[in-house]
Amino acid sequence: MGEDFVRSAAERLRPVNEFPEVLFERLLADGSLAPGGAVLDLHCGGSNIARGLALRGCALTGIDHSAPLLAHAAELDRLAGVTVTQWRARVENAEFSAASFDAITAGQCWQACERPRTLALARGWLRPGGRMLIAQYEWLPLAGNVVQDSERLILACNPGWTAHSGSGLHPLWLKEVAEAGFVDLRTWSLDIEESCSHVAWRKRVRACPAVAALSDEARVQRLDVELMAMLAERHASEPMAVPYRLWVVSAATPVELA
């Protein structure tokens, strides 16, 4: 299989919005993770965290309830030359041995988790001193930018959408993590500008949960037409600079003192 084929296949399959390399570099540099460490990635089919950590020498297990997403992730893993042990199950119903993992990661999925239940399970699955790592990578709607203009169109298409106008920060989660018994809480964030063509941006908007959840394909097509017109009128220059915020929560399970 030629390198060009592998590269083009990976590009076709790649999620429209991946975590940047700096996430993996920082988690290894600050000691949250270490090569060879056993890591469980929650909802692994929806992000590139498992693959990114496997490429850096961690031993990855991924769990997701969606068979298509698991198959999609497995193909990307194959093209990247890494192995991730996959489990098909809902996180809330999963059974792993106690103290099985050095770290548990949750990327771009924490808002959809049964958070109290997941935190309780994670405490049991982690070894003493193991870390729970929650990561979000979200576009930033700022006055007059392409994100704000796009969110207005999405809201007109799906008025029930409540996750608009976000800052990429979720302070309530810190309270929940602390109340679940985790210690040594740390957070950090980094603002990143991504270069994005009109075509790539339309794919990202279509993949937005507020749009992806719509069952009416005609509405989705109308939104895409409106989006194309808005981009041509208000953000004609390509590539566009789109602001994102990477936000990470890191917390440890207590270490019992002798």
Q: Tens digits of per-residue pLDDT, 36-73? A: 999 999 999 889 999 999 999 999 999 999 999 999 99
In a domain, residue 28? The reply is: yes
Domain count, the chain: 1
pLDDT for residue 9 is more than 70: no
* CA 139 – CA 20 distance, rounded (Å): 13
In a domain, residue 155? The reply is: no
In a domain, residue 52? The reply is: yes
* CA 50 – CA 44 distance, rounded (Å): 6
Can you give the residue range of the structural domain that contains 248? 3-139+165-193+244-252
In a domain, residue 152? The reply is: no
Q: Tens digits of per-residue pLDDT, 165-202? A: 999 999 999 999 999 999 999 999 999 999 999 999 99
In a domain, residue 25? The reply is: yes
3-class state of residue 231 by DSSP: helix
- With CA atoms as reference, report the closest residue to 247 among 165, 113, 134: 134
In a domain, residue 149? The reply is: no
* CA 138 – CA 94 distance, rounded (Å): 28
pLDDT at res. 155 = 97
In a domain, residue 19? The reply is: yes
pLDDT at res. 16 = 57
The domain that holds 125 is classified in CATH as 3.40.50.150
Q: Tens digits of per-residue pLDDT, 71-127? A: 999 999 999 999 999 999 999 999 999 999 999 999 999 998 999 999 999 999 999
In a domain, residue 48? The reply is: yes
- With CA atoms as reference, report the closest residue to 185 among 118, 136, 253, 126: 253
